[in-house]
C-alpha cells in the first residue's frame, strides 16, 4: 500500500491512498483524516485503506483522481519523533579520515543516532528555504522507516514487526555549521534544518524480496542539477539494519506510533557508486587531492532523490526540490 498526505491548508494535510503506479489517488477521509491518525490505530485503519488501494490498482475506485507529487506534503508533515541513524559506517569513517581523525572501533558495533527536529517537515517538491549559502547547504539521501508503538527494551529480533511504512528522506545539512556545533558536545541542532520526505510512504510488502534483513536492497538514485551523482545500493554496507536502529532507540524509553527512524546517508565502499551527499564527495577529494573542490549547493540548485524497483518504476515517487533564499528578517 502507498500513502500520501495532500496539501489542504491544514497543518497535518489530507491522507490519501495512492496507486502502485503513482498515477491515481483517492482521499481516505471516511477512514482516517491524517496519516498520524492512521498510525495511532493502524490495526483497525490499515485494512480499510488496503481496500481502497486494491480498488485503485484495479481501476475500480469511484472517486480516483490524478496523483500530483507537487500537491504533497511530507507523508507526516509533522511527527512526534524523528531519529536519524548513521548506519553506513563507511561514510562516518570517510568523514573522519578526511580530517585526519581516527574513528573509534566501537562505531562498528554501537549505532550512532541523533534526535532531529520533527515539527516542520518539507514536502517532496517544496523549496528548501534557507537564509545563507555560506552555511554550506548539502543534501543527504536516506531511507527511513515509520514505526507503531515500540515498548522500551524491545530487541532487534522483535523490532522488525513494528515497521509499518518506509519513505525516502532528504536530510538537509548545513555543513559549515557542523564543526562548531559538534565541538560543543550536544550534537547537531542548527546544522540540521527541516528535512524533506518522498511523496509516498509505502508498506514493507510493497518492496517484495528487496526488503530483507531489515534493509532495502535497491540503489538510491541522487541527481544534482540534472546530473546523476550517486546510486549506491541501500542494502550494501548498511552496518546496522532498521531493527537494530529501532532497538537502540527504544533501549531506555518507549517509541510511540509515528516515530520516524532514518538510515543516515546511504554510502557504499565502492566509490564508483557515487555519493548521496556532497560532503562525502568532498572527503574523497580531500583524501585524494588534499583539498575539496566540489562546492556545496547554491540558491537555485536542484536535488532529486528516487528509488526505482527492478522494473525501473519509481517506488516512493521523487523528492525533487530546489534551494531558495529566505528573507533574512521576519517578524
User: Which residues lie near its own copies (CB under 8 A)?
Assistant: 11, 40, 78-81, 83, 86, 104, 106-107, 110, 112-120, 129-131, 135, 151-154, 158, 174, 177, 182-191, 193-194, 248-249, 251-259, 326-331
What is the smallest separation between the CB atom of 43 and its own copies, expressed in angstroms? Answer: 15
What is the smallest separation between the CB atom of 96 and its own copies, expressed in angstroms? Answer: 10
Nearer to its own copies, 229 or 283 (CB): 283
What is the smallest separation between the CB atom of 327 and its own copies, expressed in angstroms? Answer: 8
Nearer to its own copies, 192 or 221 (CB): 192
Instruction: Give the Cα separation of 129 and 324 in Å (integer).
Output: 5
Cβ pair 207, 315 in contact under 8 A: yes
What are residue 164's phi and psi, to 5 degrees? -105, -35
- The distance between the two most distant Cα atoms of the chain, rounded to a whole number of Å, is 61
Angle between helices 278-289 and 89-98 (to 10 degrees): 50
Nearer to its own copies, 127 or 309 (CB): 127
Nearer to its own copies, 121 or 316 (CB): 121
Rounded alpha-carbon distances, angstroms, from residue 70 to 5, 199, 200, 211, 268: 11, 8, 12, 27, 31
What is the smallest separation between the CB atom of 70 and its own copies, expressed in angstroms? Answer: 21
Nearer to its own copies, 147 or 203 (CB): 147
What is the smallest separation between the CB atom of 251 and its own copies, expressed in angstroms? Answer: 5
Cell numbers that stand for 1 in this block? 500500500
Give me the sheet containing 128-130, strands edge to edge.
128-130, 319-325, 302-306, 221-224, 227-230
Amino acid at each position: 500500500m502507498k500513502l500520501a498526505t495532500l496539501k489542504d491548508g491544514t497543518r497535518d494535510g489530507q491522507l490519501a491512498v495512492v496507486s502502485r503506479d503513482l498515477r491515481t489517488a483517492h482521499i481516505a477521509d471516511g477512514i482516517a483524516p491524517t496519516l498520524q491518525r492512521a498510525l495511532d490505530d493502524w490495526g483497525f485503519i490499515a485494512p480499510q485503506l488496503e481496500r481502497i488501494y486494491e480498488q485503485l490498482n484495479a481501476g475500480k475506485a469511484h472517486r480516483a483522481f490524478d496523483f500530483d507529487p507537487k500537491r504533497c506534503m511530507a507523508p507526516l508533515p509533522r511527527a512526534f519523533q524523528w531519529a536519524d541513524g548513521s548506519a553506513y559506517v563507511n561514510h562516518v569513517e570517510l568523514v573522519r579520515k578526511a580530517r585526519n581523525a581516527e574513528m573509534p572501533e566501537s562505531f562498528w558495533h554501537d549505532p550512532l543516532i541523533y534526535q532531529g527536529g520533527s515539527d516542520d517537515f518539507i514536502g517532496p517538491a517544496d523549496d528548501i528555504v534557507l537564509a545563507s549559502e555560506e552555511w554550506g547547504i548539502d543534501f543527504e539521501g536516506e531511507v527511513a522507516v515509520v514505526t507503531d508503538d515500540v515498548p522500551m527494551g524491545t530487541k532487534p529480533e522483535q523490532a522488525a514487526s513494528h515497521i509499518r511504512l518506509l519513505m525516502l528522506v532528504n536530510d538537509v545539512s548545513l555543513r559549515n555549521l557542523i564543526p562548531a556545533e559538534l565541538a560543543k558536545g550536544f550534537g547537531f541542532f542548527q546544522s540540521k534544518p527541516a528535512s524533506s520526505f518522498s511523496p509516498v510512504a509505502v508498506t514493507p510488502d510493497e518492496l517484495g524480496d528487496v526488503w530483507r534483513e531489515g534493509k532495502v536492497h535497491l540503489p538510491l538514485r541522487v541527481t544534482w542539477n540534472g546530473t546523476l551523482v550517486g546510486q549506491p545500493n541501500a542494502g550494501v554496507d548498511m552496518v546496522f539494519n532498521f531493527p537494530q536502529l529501532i532497538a537502540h532507540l527504544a533501549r531506555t524509553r518507549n517509541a510511540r506510533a509515528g516515530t520516524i527512524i532514518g538510515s543516515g546517508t546511504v554510502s557504499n565502499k565502492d566509490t564508483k557508486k557515487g555519493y548521496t551527499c556532497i560532503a562525502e564527495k568532498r572527503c574523497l577529494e580531500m583524501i585524494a587531492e588534499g583539498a575539496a573542490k566540489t562546492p556545496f549547493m547554491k540558491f537555485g540548485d536542484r536535488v532529486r532523490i528516487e528509488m526505482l524497483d527492478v522494473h525501473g518504476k519509481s517506488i516512493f515517487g521523487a523528492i525533487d526540490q530546489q534551494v531558495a533564499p529566505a528573507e533574512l528578517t521576519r517578524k
